[in-house]
Structure 1
Amino acid sequence: MKKLIPALLALLIIIVIGVGVIHWLDSNRQPAPPPPPGETSAAEQPGQPDWCPTVEILAVPGTWESSPEDDPFNPAFNPNALLLPVTRELQAQHPGTAVKVFTVPYTAQFKNIDSLAEMSYDDSRTEGSNRLTAEILATHRDCPLTDYVLIGFSQGAIIAGDMANTIGTQGIPIPAERIRGVALIADGRREAAIGNHVGTPVGGVGAEISLEPLGDVTKLVMPGATMRGPRPGGFGVLDNKVVEICAPDDHICSAPIDAQDAIFRAKQLIDNSGVHAQYGTNMAVFGTVTTTQWLIDWANQLIGQPPAAPPPPAVTSAPVTSVPPIG
C-alpha cells in the first residue's frame, strides 16, 4: 500500500501537467485564416433544382393590353397585344423548362378625360410594378441562378425600365448580373444619352420627361397621372444591357423637350394611337424587319448566351421579400 500511494501521486501529477499543456496549446492556437474574398467551397456554392429555367422572359404589356386575371403563360385578354407574337414565338421555339416566358398580368389602364372610369395611370403603373416584382422574387427565391430578359411596351416599358433602374442602381430585388438584357419599346421616360438606342434615330424625350416641368396642369386631362421625369441614375450598371426602341413620330417616347402647352401635349399623348400602335407592322424603325421580329431575334441571342458566373457569397442577412417603390 505504501508503494501504491507514490505511484498514484506520480500519475496524478502527470495528468495535471498534461491537462495544463493541452489548455496552453488551445489558448495559443491561431484561428484559421478566412478564405480570400470571392472564394468559397464547393458545398457553399449556390445551386438550384433541375426544373428551374435557365432564362425567364418577362414581358410587360402596354395600356389596354392586359388585365390582372390574364393567364401569364397564355395571355388572351387582348389578342392584338404587341408583345403577344413575341412571347408566343419564343414559347414555340423553346419548349420545355429551360426558358420560362411570363407575361405580367395587371390592370393596364390610363384614366383621362375620355375614360374617367378607368384606373389612374399612377395606380395602374404601381400594380404592374408590384406584379413584376412578385414574379421576380418568387423565381429568384427558388431558382437563384436563373437569368432574366425584360421586355416592355409603352406603359409596360415604363414599368420594365423602372425595374431596370432599381436593379441597376440598387441591386434589388435581384443582383444586376442576373439580367441578360432589357428591351423598352416606346418608353415614356426615354432619354437620349441613357441606354442603347437601336433602329432609326429619333429626337426628343419620353412624354413623362417632356411634361414633368408643366406640373399638375397635365392632370386636368389625365387625373391621377404623375409625370415623373428622368429615372434617377439612369440604368446604372445595366446601361449597356438596355435597348431603347422608338418609332419616328411616336410622341410617347419622342416628345419635344421644350413643351409649353401642357393641355395640348397631354391630349396628344392620349390620342397618339397611330404610329404608337404600329410597331408590329411598321418597317420604319428597323428598315428590313418589324420591331416584333427584331425582338424575337434579340431575345434568342440573349437566351443563347452562357449564364453569368455565380456571385461570391454575401454577408448573411434577411431575404429580400419586397423592394421600395421602383422608379
Structure 2
Amino acid sequence: MERRVSARKVAHRRRIAGSLIAPGALGLAALLATPWSNPGSPATTATALTAAASDACYDMVSIAVAGRGDTPREGNRMLVAPDGTRLPASYSSDYSSPWIDEVVNAPQQSVGGGSYAAVYIEYPANMNSYEDAVNAGVDNTETVMRSIHASCPDTKFSIVGYSEGADVARRVAMEVGNQDGQDGSYDILDPAAVVGVVILADAGRNLGGGPFPGSENEFRNPDGFHLAYQSGQAGTSGRGALPGTSGSFGALDGKVASFCSEGDLTCSAPENIALLQLAINVGRQLNVDSLQKDGLTPATGQDLAVVLGQVALAAFVDIQSQDNWMQSDETFLDVLVKVSDPAYKLDAAAAQTDTSAGPISSNQAVDLVYLPAKVRNEIIGFIADNQNTIQVAMSDPYQQTLGEGTGHHFDYWRDANAAGGKPLTSAQYAAAWLTHLAQEAEKGEARAAAAEPSTAKLAAASTKETEASQVAPTTDSAKKAQLASNPVGTTTTTSSSPTPTTTVATTTSPEPPTVVEVAAEPATSAPQAVAETADTSTTAAEPTATTASESPTTTTPVVTTTTVPPAAG
C-alpha cells in the first residue's frame, strides 16, 4: 500500500531542493550572481552533555557525509571517544538525512543486533568557502575513523558521500587508499579496514570512467559483489567538474562505487569549457553563502577581487618560473585554469626570480621572436578550449543540474530503468551493496574482544533537547516498533521480494535507545522520488547479499517503481 508523504515534508523539500548547490555550478553562479534561495541556518538548542557508555564494537560502521547544510549540529547527540573527547559525528538514530538514510540504514534489518551502525559526519557543509568546508569534512571524517579503529581494530568501514559530501568521501578514500604503510603503520587506518566507498555525484570522476573504478568490470559491479548495476558497458559522458580532485584510489580500487547521472554537471561536465572551469575554481574559494544572501556588496566584491588578484599573480609567477614558456603550447588561459585550482602549489624555488636591473638576456631576446606565434596560439587555443562553453552556458546549467523536480543532481533516487538493463536506482544498488558488506563483516570478522572494556567503547554525547523533543528511553524492540510505524520520509512500494523492509534510521547499538529529535531541518531534503523508492532499496538488498556471497550468478530482483507527479508550484 502506498503511504502518502505529508504536505509539510513536501513543502520543505520544495524549499530546500532549489537551494542545494553542488560544486559544478559554483564558479559560474558566483561570477554571474545567480539568484539562489538562502537555506536557513540550522537551529540550535542549549545542550548539556552526559556520557552514555557502549561496551561493544560493531562488525561494520558506515561513515556518511551528506551535502550542503545536511549535517549534525550542536543540539544533536554526538559521539565521544573513550577518553571523553567529543567526536564530530552522530549515530544515524540521532541524525537523519533525507538524502542518504536510504543507503546507510539499509543494512540495519539484515544483520544481528549490535553488528552494524551508521554515523553522520559533522562538518561546515556550506559554501563559505567550499574548499575550506570540504577540507574540514575530510579532517573530521578521518578523525572519527581513527578513533573508532583505535578502540575497535576489527571493525570494517564503508564511506558514503553525496553532493558536497561526495567530494569529502572521494578525498578521504584517496588518502586512505594511497597511504604508504611500508612499516605496517598507517596515518589514518589500514586500507584493508575499508570495504566499500559510495560516491553519489562524483565531482572528481575521470573522463568517461565507469561507476566502479579499479574493479574487474568497472561498468558492472564492484569486486566481490555479483549483482549487476547495469547491463552493457555504458558509461556517463564527460568528467567531474573538479578534475583537480581526481586520481586513483590505490588500495581501494575495486571497492568504490562512483555514481554519476548523465546531465549532472557536477560529475558529467563536457570537455573544452575552460572559462567555466576557471569560474568553478574561483567559486571554490569565494564566500558563496554571502554572495548568495547579500549579492554583490563591498564585502563580497572585495572577496572576489582578492581571489582574482591571487589567481592573476600566481599565473604570472608560474609563467616567469618557466624558461621556455613563450615557446610552449600552453596558453595564458591554460595557466589561469591551472593556478586557480585551490590544490595548486608552485615550487618555491621555481618562483624565485632575479629582479636586479640589467640588459635583456639572450633567452628573453629569443622569446620576443616567438611572440607573434604565441599570440596566434593564444587565439586558437582559446577557441579550442571553449568549444562547449557557450553550449553549456546557454543550456541553463543550474536548472539542468539542480532544478526542482528535473535536476539531474537528484537522479540517483529515480534512475532505475528495468527495460534498459538497470533494475535498481543508484541509491538502491548502493544500499544492496552495503547490506552485502555488512553481512560479510558479520560472518567473517569476529568482533574485537577488548582486554580492557574501556578501550572498546564509544560513548554518545547526550544533549538536552527542548521539552517538546524529549522522549523517555524505551527498549530496543519498542524503539524499532515505534520507528517502523513512523518511518522518516519513506513510502512503501511493491517488490518481488517476500520480506520488504524500510530504511528508517534505527540502530541496535548498545547506546541508550533514546529517540532524539533532530535539532533543525537540514538545508537539503530528498526529492519525492526518494520517498517512492526508499523501501525497495533494502528489499532488493536482502536477497542480493545472500545470493551474491554463495554464487556468482544472481537473479536480479524486480522492482516496481511509482511515478512521482511533478511538484506543484
Q: Shorter-chain-normalised TM-score: which range? A: 0.5 to 0.7
1:248 Cα deviation (Å)? Answer: 1.3
1:89-108 to 2 correspondences below 5 Å? 89-94=106-111, 96-108=113-125
Higher relative CO (Cα under 8 Å, sequence separation at least 6) belongs to 2
Report whether the alignment pairs 1:63 with 2:68.
Answer: yes
Residue 174 (structure 1) aligned with residue 189 (structure 2)? yes
- Paired residues of 1:150 and 1:160 also in contact (CA < 8 A): yes
Residue number in structure 1 paired with 2:167: 158
Aligned to 1:53: 58
How far residue 250 of structure 1 moved from its aligned partner, in angstroms, is 1.0
- Confirm or deny that 1:142 pairs with 2:142: no
The 1:133–1:270 alpha-carbon spacing in structure 2 relative to 1, beyond 3 Å, is: farther
Could you tell me which residue of structure 1 aligns to residue 523 of structure 2? Answer: none
- Paired residue type of 1:109: N
Q: What amino acid sits opposite 2:135 in the alignment?
A: T
Aligned residues of 1:188 and 1:253 also touching (Cα < 8 A): yes
Q: Give 1:304's aligned residue.
A: 439
CA contact (8 A) 1:187 1:246 kept: yes
1:222-275 CA-to-partner distances (Å, cap 9, x unmatched) read xxxxxx3423xx101111111211111111111113223327974877652111
CA RMSD of aligned residues (A): 3.0
1:282 to 415, 419, 435: 415
Counterpart of 2:113, as a letter, is G
Indicate whether 1:201 and 2:336 are aligned.
no
Letter in 1 for 2:267: C
* TM-aligned CA distance change 1:103 to 1:93, over 3 Å: farther
Whole-Å separation in 2 of the counterparts to 1:84 and 1:243: 17
Contact 2:110 2:439 in 1 (8 A): no
* Residue aligned with 2:236, SS: coil
Contact kept? 1:61, 1:155, Cα under 8 Å:
yes
Structure 2 CA distance for aligned equivalents of residues 280 and 247 of structure 1: 11
The verdict on how the C-alpha distance between 1:74 and 1:237 changes in structure 2, with shifts beyond 3 A counting, is: closer
CA distance 1:264–1:63, shift in 2 (3 Å) = same
- CA-to-aligned-CA distance 1:48-106 (integer Å, 9 cap, x gap): x9711111111111223224335522477775x32022233333444632112111122
Structure 2 SS opposite 1:243: strand
Cα 1:64–1:78 change in 2 (3 A) is farther
Secondary structure of the equivalent of 2:440? coil
Aligned residue for 1:296, secondary structure, equals helix
Larger Rg: 1
After superposition, the C-alpha distances for 1:287-307 in whole angstroms (9 at most, x for unaligned) are 322222111111011112254
Aligned counterpart for 1:250 among listed residues 258, 264, 283? 264
Question: Which residue does 1:85 correspond to in 2?
Answer: 102
| Percentage of pairs with the same residue | 24
Contact 1:53-1:97 at 8 Å conserved across structures: yes
1:40 aligned residue: none
Aligned residues: 233
2:475 aligns with none
Relative to structure 1, is the Cα distance of residues 127 and 237 closer, same or farther in structure 2, using a 3 angstrom cutoff? same
1:185 aligns with 2:200: yes
Mapped pair 1:132 → 2:141: yes
- Counterpart of 1:207 in structure 2: which amino acid? A
* 1:252/1:269 contact within 8 Å kept: no
In the alignment, is residue 122 of structure 1 matched against residue 131 of structure 2?
A: yes
Give the letter for the 1:294 counterpart. Y
Note the residue ranges of structure 1 that are not aligned, 5 or more in a row. Answer: 1-48, 111-118, 210-227, 311-327
1:52–1:77 distance in 2 versus 1, CA, 3 Å: closer
Q: Which residue is equivalent to 2:91?
A: 73
Q: 1:263 to 1:56 in 2, by over 3 A?
A: closer
Classify 1:238/1:269 alpha carbon distance in 2 versus 1 (closer, same or farther; 3 Å).
farther
**Structure 2: stretches of 5+ with no match in the other structure:** 1-53, 78-89, 180-185, 220-229, 281-392, 448-569
User: Any conservation in 1 of the 2:261–2:411 contact (CA below 8 Å)?
Assistant: no
SS of alignment partner, residue 122 of structure 2: coil
When residues 141 and 294 of structure 1 are mapped into structure 2, their CA distance, relative to the original with a 3 A threshold, is same
1:195–1:308 distance in 2 versus 1, CA, 3 Å: farther
Separation in 2, partners of 1:286, 1:309: 38
TM-score under structure 1 length normalisation? 0.63
Does the 8 Å contact 1:155/1:187 carry over to 2?
A: no
Per the alignment, in what secondary structure is the counterpart of residue 154 of structure 2?
coil
TM-score scaled by length of structure 2: 0.37
Q: 1:305 is paired with a residue of what secondary structure?
A: helix
SS of match in other structure, 1:97: coil
The letter of the residue matching 1:100 is: A
Superposition map of 1:220-231 within 5 A:
228-231=244-247
| Secondary structure in 1 matching 2:196 | strand
- CA shift at 1:279, angstroms? 1.6
CA contact (8 A) 1:208 1:229 kept: yes
CA distance in 1, matches of 2:408, 2:157: 29
Q: Which runs of 4+ in 1 moved over 6 A?
A: 75-78
